[in-house]
Homo-oligomer: A and B are copies of this chain.
Amino acid sequence: MSVNTFGHILRFTTWGESHGPAIGAVVDGCPPGLEIDEALIQPFLDARRPGQSKFTTQRQEPDQVRILSGVFEAPDGVRRTTGTPISLMIENVDQRSKDYSDVAKAYRPGHADYAYDAKYGFRDYRGGGRSSARETASRVAAGAVARLVIDDVSILGYVSEIGGDTIDMANFDPAEIGRNPFFCPDAKAAARWEKIVDDARKSGSSVGAVVECVATNVPAGWGAPLYGKLDADLAAAMMGINAVKGVEIGDGFAAARLTGEQNADPMRPGEHGPDFLANHAGGIAGGISTGQPVTVRVAFKPTSSILTPQPTVTREGEATELFTKGRHDPCVGIRGVPVVEAMMALVLADHKLLHRGQCG
């Protein structure tokens, strides 16, 4: 059991390595009859695509998605999901034929190299193989399908902090997110981050980031307590993204410093269910959505690929030093935004169907 499948009802399975011929996802359990087309998936892949600014890796991948199954022209002449598995494939194009003898022989600190060898006995070392962030393209494609299932829900992800420099919520402008290469909703912060990330890039260093994601218009009642809680599934979804080391729902760790009075989310009568006067809980209580915005914060560590040589060991257990020659993101959290959004969509869509199955 290698658990390359995620989800309870809407399940997707990903496959593929960084430098293999292709990567892909099989999305199973999607309701039939949803309008779908490559053109509805591609924009999300484009948002994640590398090589679009100097602040991300220069690997050039068109990331063109192909739908190989599960879609057919419905009687109304529109291409729709049929209810059978949707196979999505993305060919790898820019597998630069570089010399991998260094990483074949020794373990890059901070990477999964040693862990994979310890587990499997050997590993596909080219570009990180299966543990490469390249695999997240498959998640983004699957997430685009999930969005079709929850078309009433809005999902907004953005970077709120890079290298310890945080946005000012007073400057928050959703329209700004698409205008800069950092998915940053604060134009002033974006300007500052240019220097931070560029300095890291030039010096062969890297910086961390925090990504936030908010889903609005999620109805109350989604979530499967006690071991498929909405927040627990979100935590797994986010912590499973490459380079993620922390996840918060609502106030997260800050809630641990509040009193019960400060942390309360009182209610008053509203038009559709209660109106909440605060949302410390991040839209989830007892593992079930409350109808408030579902909010999650995700910490990305700095990219482990840096130019400073690090002490490490070879496969044979001898001391050596390694640094990363290849192309890489100086701040891997930036391109994490479309991935965080995709995982949010996948968890929510799954729970919509899960809820419908049990509660009708």
Contacts and interface: CB of A to CB of B under 8 A. Distances in A.
Contacts of A281: 110, 245
A5 to B, nearest CB: 6
B83 A266 contact: no
A239 B235 contact: yes
Interface string A94-127: 0000000000000101111011101111111000
A53 interface: no
Given A4-B226, A17-B69, A239-B229, A259 B82 contact: no
Interface in A221-246: 221-229, 231-240, 245-246
A255 B33 CA distance: 35
Given A228-B1, A288-B115, A312-B274, A306 B264 contact: yes
B290 A115 contact: yes
7 contacts: A14-B227, A15-B69, A114-B290, A119-B221, A119-B222, A245-B248, A264-B304
Given A14-B227, A232-B236, 10 more contacts: A3-B226, A4-B227, A15-B86, A112-B285, A114-B285, A114-B290, A161-B256, A164-B256, A233-B236, A267-B313
A155 to B, nearest CB: 19
Contacts of A259: 163, 200, 205-207, 302
Report the copy number of this chain in the oligomer.
4
A14 B260 contact: no
Interface residues of A, number: 155
A266 B111 CA distance: 10
Nearest to A273: B118
A164 to B, nearest CB: 4
A16 B68 contact: yes
A239 B246 contact: no
A258 interface: yes
Interface stretch (A21-29, A39-47, A182-190): A21-29
B225 A359 contact: no
Given A16-B87, A245-B252, A310 B120 contact: no
A51 interface: no
B208 A357 contact: no
Contacts of A262: 302
A140 interface: no
A31 to B, nearest CB: 6
A348 to B, nearest CB: 15
A150 interface: no
A285 B221 contact: no
B1 A13 contact: no
Which 7 pairs across A and B sit closest by C-beta, in order of nearness?
A112-B286, A357-B357, A3-B228, A208-B256, A206-B260, A232-B240, A115-B288
Contact of A31 (B118, B280, B358): B358
A141 to B, nearest CB: 14
B115 A2 contact: no
B164 A1 contact: no
A67 B299 CA distance: 35
B248 A255 contact: no
A114 B267 contact: yes
Given A1-B8, A28-B2, A208-B263, A118 B249 contact: no
Contacts of A257: 161, 163-164, 208
Nearest to A281: B110
A112 B15 contact: no
